[in-house]
Amino acid sequence: MSRTFLKMNGLGNDFVVVQTLTERFDPTPEQIRAIAKRDGGIGCDQVIAIDPPKAEGASAYVRFWNADGEVAGACGNGTRCVAWLLMQSAGKDAVAFDTVAGRLSGVAAGDKLVTVDMGPPGLDWTQIPLSEEMNTERVELQVGPIDAPLVHTPVCVSMGNPHVVFFVDAPVTDDFARGTGSLVEHHPLFPEGVNVGFAHVAARDHIRLKVWERGAGLTQACGTGACAAQVAAVRRGLTDRKARVEFDTGSLTIEWRESDGHVIMTGPITMEYAGKLPELVAA
179 is known to lie in a ligand binding site: no
161 is known to lie in a ligand binding site: yes
Torsional class of 208: left (φ above 0), alpha (ψ -120 to 50), beta (otherwise)? beta
Per the residue annotation, which of 75, 81, 156, 227 is the catalytic one?
75
Contacts of 35 (CB under 8 A, 6+ apart): 16, 27, 41, 42, 44, 47, 277, 281
Closest CA to 216 of 81, 71, 104: 71
Per the residue annotation, which of 44, 81, 156, 222 is the catalytic one?
222
Residue 75 annotated in active site: yes
Rounded CA separation 250/268 (Å): 9
66 is known to lie in a ligand binding site: yes
46 is known to lie in a ligand binding site: yes
Torsional class of 201: left (φ above 0), alpha (ψ -120 to 50), beta (otherwise)? beta
132 is known to lie in a ligand binding site: no
195 is known to lie in a ligand binding site: yes
Measured in residues, the chain has a length of 283
135 is known to lie in a ligand binding site: no
162 upstream amide cis, omega within 30 of 0? no
Count of CB atoms situated within 10 Å of the CB of 111: 6
Binding-site residues from annotation for substrate: 13, 46, 66, 76-77, 161, 195, 213-214, 223-224
Instruction: Please state the residue numbers annotated as binding site.
Output: 13, 46, 66, 76-77, 161, 195, 213-214, 223-224
Catalytic site positions = 75, 222
